[in-house]
Amino acid sequence: MQYNFDPSYGYTLDTLLNVDVFSEPRDFDRFWQQRYQKAVAINPQPITKLLSENSFDWKVLEITYTSTDNFIITGWLLLPISGVIKRGFIVGHGYGGCNGPVFDFPFKDAAILFLCFRGLALSSHPSISAEPNWHVLHDIDNINRYILGGCVEDVWLGVSALLSLFPSLSGHLAYMGISFGAGIGVMAVAWDKRINKAHFNVPTFGHQMLRLKLQTNGSAHSVQQYYLTHKKQTIRTLKYYDAAIAAKRIKIPVHFACALYDPCVAPPGQFAIYNAVTKDKHLYVLEAGHHCYSNQVEQEKELIEQLDIFFNEI
């Protein structure tokens, strides 16, 4: 596919590894810590319903739980057919949607929760557009109500739901997310000490000020168009929802897959998040994100092999 702009933006791997983090609000920590404490005080009251006894060697359950604002989150829960459940994963999807669980993860001793973020897929709601270009703008004029914050809280309550069902998984939990779910995951993991390891694949919402300037496709373009007529308002909100700023707070081992070429999530934003992490971090460099390329299948295979090793001990 051809684009009317360069999805590498003229960056090389060396220059990407030197993208700095945007300056942060003075009350950034207080803003998020208050949200986290309020969220984890909620009883998620998870309810499960068996859908299939044996799908690709997994039991598949539908799961619903209560998030903030009494929002009911729905998703899928994969459980091993037999054996002891030793670890748990919360998986966040991209703006491309979530049509069902992924069965080919090599974590056969794990409970895997695939959540659908509020307003999307199984968690759709008439008050929230499921169209990415509108979903990403939902309540962007209100720092405390912006949809991204609610989605971060959906992750925190997903952790609470999984621990409610499997208390023995405390200390053995991980998060994985791609694109939208990766950016949201960075903001969630930054504050949630119950998560022990994480993987972020082409994470969005990094370096919001740069993200507003680089020509792009997808939901970021929608935010850019809104910004043209609501500049102060947009900046006032987005500075609290910058995954690169949040990433500086991450203290657990994390694994990244960041792309050199991406027409929907500009690589400088992805690498700004990676660069901001100061602790134990691992990087797999993708040739491209949100774009088909000849080496894609091989790279996806290599990435899964890395993740199998990375998450071997949680």
Please state, for a pLDDT cut of 90, what percent of the chain lies above it.
Answer: 93
Residue type, 313: E
3-state secondary structure of 112: strand
User: pLDDT value at position 90?
Assistant: 98
CA distances from 83 to 63, 76, 109, 274 (A): 21, 20, 7, 36
Q: What CA–CA distance (Å, rounded) separates 22 from 208?
A: 8
User: pLDDT value at position 23?
Assistant: 87
Element (H, E) at 198: strand 197-201
Q: Could you identify the residue written with the tokens 């895997």?
A: 112
CB 257 within 8 A of CB 267: no
Q: What CA–CA distance (Å, rounded) separates 278 from 223?
A: 29
Element (H, E) at 156: helix 147-165
What's the distance, Cα to Cα, between the start and end of the chain in Å? Answer: 39
Averaged pLDDT for residues 135-144: 97
Per-residue pLDDT of 203-226, as tens digits, reads 999 999 999 999 999 899 999 999
3-state secondary structure of 188: helix
- In terms of Cα–Cα distance, which of 162, 69, 67 is closest to 114? 162
Per-residue pLDDT of 87-107, as tens digits, reads 999 999 999 878 899 998 999
Q: Could you identify the residue written with the tokens 């119950």?
A: 194
- Model confidence at 22: pLDDT above 80: no
pTM of the model as a whole: 0.96
Please state, for a pLDDT cut of 70, what percent of the chain lies above it.
Answer: 100
CB 135 within 8 A of CB 148: no
Enumerate residues 6+ apart whose C-beta is below 8 A from 31: 25, 143, 240
Q: What CA–CA distance (Å, rounded) separates 198 from 182?
A: 9
Per-residue pLDDT of 179-188, as tens digits, reads 999 999 999 9
CB 306 within 8 A of CB 197: no
Q: pLDDT class for 241, splitting at 50, 70, 90?
A: very high
The angle that helices 28-40 and 147-165 make with each other, rounded to 10 degrees, is: 40
Q: pLDDT class for 274, splitting at 50, 70, 90?
A: very high
Q: pLDDT class for 56, splitting at 50, 70, 90?
A: confident
Averaged pLDDT for residues 48-61: 92
DSSP strands (E only) in 138-189: 173-178
Structural domains present in the chain: 13-310 (3.40.50.1820)
- Model confidence at 26: pLDDT above 90: yes
Q: What CA–CA distance (Å, rounded) separates 176 from 303?
A: 13
Per-residue pLDDT of 245-259, as tens digits, reads 999 999 999 999 999
Q: pLDDT class for 57, splitting at 50, 70, 90?
A: confident
Enumerate residues 6+ apart whose C-beta is below 8 A from 92: 115, 117, 155, 175, 176, 177, 178, 180, 181, 182, 184, 185
- Mean pLDDT for the chain? 96
